[in-house]
Amino acid sequence: MNARGTDRTVAAGAPIVVFDSGVGGLSVVKAIRATLPQAPLVYVMDRAAYPYGEQSESVLLARVPALLGRLAERHAPRLIVIACNTASTITLAAVREALHVPIVGTVPAIKPAAGSTRRGVIGILGTAATVRQRYVDDLTARFAGSCTVLRHGAPALVDYAEARLRGQPADETAPRDALASLIQQPGGDAMDTVVLACTHFPLVAEALQRDAPHPLTFVDGAAGIAARCAALTAGQPWPDRAATGLTLTTGGLAECRDLTGALASFDLAPAKRF
C-alpha cells in the first residue's frame, strides 16, 4: 500500500478517488469513511470492463493508467486508491510511473494473515488473475514462508457480492463453494485464516462466516488502506463537512439504477457517466 507523489498544494475540497471495476471498492470506501469522515470522495466503477479478474494483463495495463490519468485531470484528487487487488497487482507500477498523484494500491493481506494464523495454514480467496500473480508469490515468500498457503480464484463470489448489493437473486452456494475449494486442497482441513484478496469479498463476509464448516478468521486490507490514506493526507486541509460523494461509471447508467440504495448507504450519490 505504498504511494508515490510530488509535493503540491492541496485544496480543502480535493477528493480521494476510489477506483474499482465494480462495487468491491465500497468495502474500502467504508473504511475510509470511518477513518477520514470529512474526506470528499469520488467513487469510480469501470463497469465497461467488469470484471477485471477476467481481463488480460495487457488490457488492464493499457486501460487502467489511461482512465486514472483522465480522472486526475478532471478531479484534481489529493490521492487515488486503486481499490482492486487485480488492478493493483498488475498495473500499480505503471500507474505510479504515469501519474504525479499519490497512489495507494490494494494487495492481499498475507502479512497480517501470517501473523494471526495459529495452525499455519492460510487460504487466499481472490480473482483468478490475482491468485496467479508473481506478486502474490513474493508476498507469500516474504511473510508466510513457514505457512501452508492455499489459493483459489472465485469469480462466482464476485458475482454473488454484486448481486447482493443490487438486491438481486444471488447464487447462495457461492460462499460455501469458494471455501470448499480451499478446504479440499491438501492441508485445507487445518486452515484457520482466509485472506479476502478481492475487495468484493468483505462485502459478503457474513455469508462466508455463515457457511464456513469450522471457525475461520477472515482478513482483508481495507483498514490498512484507510490508515495509509490518513498518513498521506496528514496536515492537509479538509472541508468542515464532507458532501455526499460522487459516483462515476464507464458503463451504462441503466445497469447502475439498482445500486442507488447501496451507494446511498455509503453516502455516495447515484452513478453518473464517466
* Domain co-membership, 239 together with 208: no
Structurally, the chain folds into a number of domains equal to 2
Q: Which residues of the chain have pLDDT under 50?
A: 1-7
Catalytic residue, chosen from 84, 147, 229, 256, is 84
Specify the pLDDT at position 223: 95
**Is 186 a member of any domain?**
yes
Strand order from edge to edge, sheet including 41-45: 103-104, 79-82, 16-20, 41-45, 245-249, 268-273
Q: Is the same domain home to 259 and 164? A: no
Considering the candidates 147, 198, 229, 256, report the single residue annotated as catalytic.
198
Residue range 117-136, pLDDT digits in tens = 999 999 999 998 899 899 89
pLDDT of the residue at 88 = 95
Residues 118 and 210 in one domain: yes
Distance in angstroms (rounded) separating the CA atoms of residues 180 and 59? 31
Residue 86 lies in a domain: yes
In a domain, 156, yes or no: yes
**Nine-digit cell string for 203:** 462485502
**Residue 1: what pLDDT?**
47
Q: Find the domain containing 88 and state its range.
A: 16-106+223-273
What is the per-residue DSSP string for 84-108? -HHHHHHHHHHHHHH-SS-EE----
For position 6, what pLDDT does the model report? 44
pLDDT value at residue 136: 93
Instruction: Residue count of the chain, please give it.
Output: 274
- pLDDT at position 8 is 62
Residues 126 and 210 in one domain: yes
Can 147 be counted among the known catalytic residues?
no
- Residue 87 corresponds to which cell in the numbers above? 488492478
Using CA atoms, how far residue 69 sits from 9, 17, 96, 179, 228, in Å, is 19, 12, 10, 37, 21
Active site (annotated) includes residue 84: yes
Domain boundary (180, 201, 220) is at 220
